[in-house]
Structure 1
Amino acid sequence: MLTFLRSPRTIDALLVAVAFIWGTSYGVVKGALLSYSVLGLLALRFGLTFVLLSPALGALSRVRWRDRLGVLGAGVLLLGIFLAETFGVSLTRASNAAFLISLCVVFTPLVEWAWLRRAPRALEWGAAGVSMAGAFLLTGGHFAAGAGDWLVVLAALLRALTSCAVKRAMHAGAVPPLAVTAVQAGVVAVGCAALALTVAPAQWQPLPAWHGHAAFWWSVIWLVAGCTLFAFFVQNYAMSRSSPTRVALLMGSEPVFGALFALVWLGERLTLAAWVGGLLIVAASVLALERAPRTAARASASA
């Protein structure tokens, strides 16, 4: 079983599954926010995740303080991602946000090169460019910079930084993926709750009752089980056995799944340009499936 999970192809398939799950999250979150506030929903989602994963924190007792601080830093970056992305989307058009968050596919090779000293392969640069072009077409090719746009750009940059921070913290298997996910969830939950209680008290609201709000609670269950527990574990596990750039490229198909989910679930229509853009993003993910030279692959698997 462990051999199966360590297979590069299995990891690639799991990352594509995460891209699909995160693609559905936009519509699910949109529905949940009809019943609850942004900070309250984030605190609830990640608070439940932290409680479920709290037993995994025991592994940190065998980890150096330097590595613990690295994991904590990754959690702070994740908090920044969700705050910048969520409030950025509220201040800009959804099409702008979808395009700009995809910039993490372009930022990640640059951050990995500067921080981890791993120069991306030419194929990875090409895949990043194709993915960016596809995201631009998928959103109609319209962009006008505003405060919300810059917040989403910040979220994309923080995504790239978080990928490299997790990779660095988990070097040589020092920190288990479940422990990393637990710490990240705890930091986001505490951060959002603290902001709601101090800076934005209107965001701290009583939880909706199950009766009359069953759809909200089913949304929370999906966000916790699929979009957080499964997705972040897979992402962190993949980061320990692959490069941040490769992980980002395989996750680049997320906007396509989001568009398909909106088409099937919400009845939204896509233009021809959007379909072409989606196919380009899929093509970029297929390019990313091309394995690195065997020596590099072995080095990545042993990292």
Structure 2
Amino acid sequence: MMTISSKTTQWGAQLMLLAVAMVWGSSYGVSKSALLWYPVLGFLALRFLITFVVLLPYFLRYSAADRVQSYKMGAPLGILIAAIFLCETYGVCQTSASNAAFLICLCLPFTPVFEWLLLGKPITAQAACCLALAVLGAALLSGFHGQIAALNWGDLLIVAAALLRAIVVTLTRKLAQTNPAPALGLTIVQVGIAGCIMLVLAYTTIPIKQLNLPHSPSFWVNLIYLVLLCTIFAFFAQNWAASRLPPTRVAALMGLEPLFGALYGVLALGETMSTSAIMGAGLMLCAVFGLSGVGNELMRGVWQSRQNPLRSMAASREAGSQ
């Protein structure tokens, strides 16, 4: 029986993941603006290493045991996160935005596969239906359903990123069970490793003149937004929630990222959503509604509300007969 405190923790984790999906959905437009001023690898190195420097004082306050646990859990995850960002960044450059928005949502069906392989948890029929609904919604939202897509290298890189996302979500849960680490300590190790990888790649593949820091205020405003919300908050929230929720549910909530990206385009950039996109958004919300446990709670509440009057009537009749 789940206690009230554990229920509260799970709802808090789900709300945090929704906030992560929201800020990550906005990150595409913000990153696109910043990349007008700086190379991709250099920009990613700045984003991660600035985050690392900001958080390092907090990491040094941890005990030696907590730092060791953070290294053990964060090292493999940091390498995987660097690979995800590389696949996503170069994949988006070589495919259409609609293909990328849909294909990244393939982490939804990938996640229960790794949950079964790494955690031994079989997928339920309800979860399978909700995940299928979410993938269909993503196809409608992105416009992928109207295309005959011949997968190119960019598409394959996005699929690889989706696969790696599913592995990270599930592996975070598994490592939290064997080598639990503080969520903030885990975040610091992850961004430090990812930042170092990006820095090495930047200096070995980009002419040094192109790595001179830009003077544009808009670049630094966008970078600060990405550091504070899309990296520090988002990585901490994801690490904290992923150690407390089933991976399939984490993937479903994070899968709303394209939806929030579309909303950001409408509200901030003046874009419009087609009827099929609105339908897709609705399907994705229904899928998350089912996977998050909200649907079950409401059905249980409706059932109890119907049963209570019947019990009262039965009790009244029994009292009257006595």
Q: TM-score, normalised by structure 1?
A: 0.89
Q: Report what 2:243 is aligned to.
A: 240
1:226 aligns with 2:232: no
Q: Encode CA deviations 1:214-267: one digit per residue, 9 max, x unaligned.
A: 111111111011111111111100011111111111112111110011112122
Query: Which residue of structure 1 lines up, in the alignment, with residue 311 of structure 2?
Result: none
Q: CA deviation at 1:69?
A: 3.4
The CA deviation at 1:17 is 1.1
Asked if the contact 2:91/2:158 (under 8 Å) is kept, the reply is yes
After superposition, the Cα gap between the structure-2 partners of 1:56 and 1:174, relative to the gap in structure 1 and judged at 3 Å, is: farther
**Equivalent residue in structure 1 for 2:119, among 96, 102, 116:** 116
Gaps of 5+ in 1: 294-303
Corresponding residue to 1:254 among 245, 252, 257: 257
Any runs of at least 4 consecutive aligned residues in structure 1 with deviations exceeding 4 A, and if so which?
3-6, 63-67
Do the aligned partners of residues 220 and 67 (structure 1) sit closer, same or farther apart at CA in structure 2, a change above 3 Å counting? closer
Contact 1:104 1:248 in 2 (8 A): yes
CA–CA distance in structure 2, aligned partners of residues 203 and 86 of structure 1: 22
Cα gap change, 1:88 to 1:61, in 2 (>3 Å): same
Q: Equivalent pairs: percent with the same residue? A: 42
Structure 1 residues 126-165: Cα deviation after superposition (integer angstroms, max 9, x where no partner): 2111110001111211233000000000000000111122
Moved more, 147-156 or 133-142: 133-142
Question: Is 1:85–1:152's contact at 8 Å kept on the other side of the alignment?
Answer: yes
CA–CA distance in structure 2, aligned partners of residues 239 and 90 of structure 1: 29
Query: Cα deviations across residues 2-51 of structure 1 (Å, max 9, x unaligned)?
Result: x6996221211111111111111111011111111111110011111111
1:90 aligns with 2:96: no
Does residue 176 (structure 1) correspond to residue 182 (structure 2)? The answer is yes
Instruction: Confirm or deny: 8 A CA contact 2:73 2:186 kept in the other structure.
Output: no
Aligned to 1:126: 129
Q: Distance in 1 between matches of 2:151 and 2:82?
A: 23
Amino acid at match of 2:41: L
Cα distance change, pair 153–17 in 1 and its aligned pair in 2 (3 A): same
Structure 2 unaligned runs (5+)?
297-322
Distance 1:118 1:37, change over 3 A: same
The match for 2:193 is 187
**Structure 1 residue 56, shift from structure 2 partner:** 4.2
Farther off after superposition, 95-104 or 133-142: 133-142
TM-align CA RMSD? 2.4
Give the TM-score of the pair, scaled to structure 2: 0.84
Counterpart-to-counterpart distance in 2, 1:292 and 1:118: 22
Matched with 2:170 is 164
Between the aligned partners of 2:209 and 2:236, the Cα distance in structure 1 is: 28
Question: Quick one: which amino acid aligns to residue 24 of structure 1?
Answer: S
> Bigger radius of gyration, 1 or 2?
2
Cα deviation, 1:65-98, whole Å, max 9, x if unaligned, reads 6873342001000000000000000000010000
Tell me, yes or no, if the aligned pair for 2:59 and 2:67 is still in contact at 8 Å: no
d(CA) in 1 for partners of 2:120, 2:213: 46
Q: Flag the 1:64–1:27 CA change in 2: closer, same or farther, 3 A.
A: closer
Matched to 2:170, the amino acid is C
Q: How far apart are 1:288 and its partner, in Å? A: 1.5
